[in-house]
Amino acid sequence: MHQWLEDFGLGYDRNDRSTWKSEHLPEINNKGMCLDYAVTHEDFAWEIRAEPGVLSVFETVLNTEDLIVSFDAVNFGLAGRKDLPPNKPWPHQDQDPTKNGFRCLQGLVNLLPNGPDDGGLIVCEGAHLLSQQFHKEIAGTETPIPAWNPEWYGFTDKGMKWLEDHGCRWTKVCAEPGDLLLWDSRTPHYNLSSTTDQSRFCVYTCYMPVTEASEEELQRKKVVFEGWFGTTHWPNCKVMGRNQASRNGEPDPHNRSEPRKKPQLSERVYKLTGIPYIKTQA
């Protein structure tokens, strides 16, 4: 991932922290996420999705080999950046609050040592089990945070108090390089930036049974893959990106419409795009 940043050609140097700022980097938001430049389809991202130790976990948990994968963001959480707004807690769940029960298992592959103060994933333990009760009791009693897509809900101060009153505890998840972190999409969570010299890099990756995707969603997923666009964590392509980053309020002149190093996918991994499952038109 350092190599990808250096090859961007803006002067980033992994060994020179004076280059760890916007003028030397692609657009990376204050939460560390890079959403554009076709980065989600770079070969390093697909190598992680294809990693047997990652794929086999989802095959086991979801009890099928017929899976599709998300084309989600890549996180470049460079430590010590002063050129971005503070990354304040943004507790949310990535599942429609009107749809109850388990629907999706979110995940990320951690790539650098990630201790208690190195930024990263914060989860509200056990809150997914109270999700239906929470949304039933909180509905109509608060001014909701505007949702940027239907599969998202932001927790207000009132919602946070409800979680506290019901014994839910927030926990920082620590991890080693190569660890796969998983959580139910109903789980309240957010990330924080590192307060040490240790950066945080990870690739978000999520799989679901292809049977959970409609024919229309598979067709849209084909458009997304062939256009080198990104998605949210939902593998059935609920939302698609456009590779249109902005810099200083203007389209970034360094935008890319395809990955610098395109992935070479095996037959098994290509199935994760969903394309082979599209029904042949008569």
Per-residue pLDDT, averaged over 185-204, amounts to 97
pLDDT tier, 280 (very low <50, low <70, confident <90, very high otherwise): confident
* Backbone phi and psi for residue 233, each to the nearest 5 degrees, phi listed first: -75, -15
Helices and strands (H, E) in the chain, number of each type: 7, 14
pLDDT in tens, 27-53: 999 999 999 999 999 999 999 999 999
> Which structure tokens are listed for 140?
């109509």
Considering only 97-101, 207-211, 240-244, 261-265, which range has the smallest mean pLDDT?
Answer: 240-244
User: CA end-to-end span of the chain, whole Å?
Assistant: 44
Question: Is the dihedral angle over the CA atoms 55, 58, 63, 68 positive or is it negative?
Answer: negative
Average pLDDT over residues 111-136: 97
Task: Give the mean pLDDT of 166-194.
Answer: 97
The yes or no reply on domain 75-204 and CATH 3.40.30.10 is: no
CA–CA gap between residue 129 and residue 85 (Å, rounded): 33
pLDDT digits (tens, 9 = 90+) for 200-237: 999 999 999 999 999 999 999 999 999 999 999 999 97
Kindly report the average pLDDT of the chain as a whole number: 95
pLDDT over 80 (residue 55): yes
Describe the crossing of helices 131-138 and 157-165 by its angle, rounded to 10 degrees. Answer: 130
Which band of pLDDT confidence, cut at 50, 70 and 90, is reported for residue 242?
A: confident
Euclidean distance between CA atoms 160 and 182, whole angstroms: 22
SS3 272: helix
pLDDT at position 199 is: 98
**Average pLDDT in the 62-91 region?**
96
The predicted pLDDT at position 281 comes to: 53
Has residue 275 got a pLDDT over 70? yes
- Strands of the sheet containing 189-192, edge to edge, are 153-154, 92-93, 189-192, 120-125, 169-172
pLDDT number for residue 237? 78
- Distance CA(104)–CA(72), nearest Å, equals 14
Q: Dmax of the chain from CA atoms?
A: 59
**Closest among 123, 139, 269 to 207, alpha carbons compared:** 269
pLDDT reading at 282 higher than 50: no
Residue for token digits 């506290």?
A: 164
Q: For residue 121, list its beta bridge partners.
A: 191
Contact 204, 104 (CB under 8 A): no
Which has the closest alpha carbon to 89: 206, 173, 170?
170
Q: Where are the domains of the chain?
A: 23-72+205-282, 75-204
